[in-house]
Amino acid sequence: MAVKEYKVHETSLVGDNVKIGDGTRIWQFCNIMDGVEIGENCNIGMNVFMETGVKIGNHVTIKNNISIYSGVECEDDTFLGPNCVFTNVLTPRSFISRKNEFKKTIVHKGASLGANCTIVCGHDIGRYAMVGSGAVVTKNVPDYTLVVGNPARKLGYVCECGERIHADADGDYTCSRCGKKYRMLGERLTEVE
């Protein structure tokens, strides 16, 4: 059996039943509870807390000071900016146990969450979507959509590479940075093959 090659800083706590992929780095003062799954080549910044049941894909960047609670999944290639916030209960009370009411939140492949944004539980962030710094997400964010503000509202669309894209005269979208092409299908932006 191959030996796992990952790094955990000596000041971090990692539960006994945690899966960590090759190439992943976990920096200072992190607390990773039992039952967490972390993929390959992830970078987990200082002072990150992950609660039991959290799933992190491959090539995920999690910046400093983030708590990720049960019910949150981050797919491959996602980016969580410093101090972003997740919740997992809609009506919390310290004197009432609501663990049976945890809501699932999925940050889909390639999505980016800006610094200090808040993701209210039960709302998914679409593929390659971008949530602006300080935004408060209170509903699902579609693929390739840029949202900002409180509550978060659509400002436009972004390419897979992160560049803002705009419709041309034919209603198609082409990225000026990487050349990828997109088209609206109904209410959703999709990449043209």
Digit-coded pLDDT (tens) for 118-164: 999 999 999 999 999 999 999 999 999 999 999 999 999 999 999 99
Is 2 a residue whose pLDDT tops 70? no
- Residue 1: its pLDDT value, please? 52
Digit-coded pLDDT (tens) for 57-103: 999 999 999 999 999 999 999 999 999 999 999 999 999 999 899 99
How distant, in Å, are the alpha carbons of 185, 191, 193 from that of 75?
24, 19, 22
- For the chain, domains (ranges, CATH) are 7-160 (2.160.10.10)
Is 50 a residue whose pLDDT tops 80? yes
- Residue 171: its pLDDT value, please? 87
Nearest in space to 49 (alpha carbons), one of 23, 76, 21, 18: 18
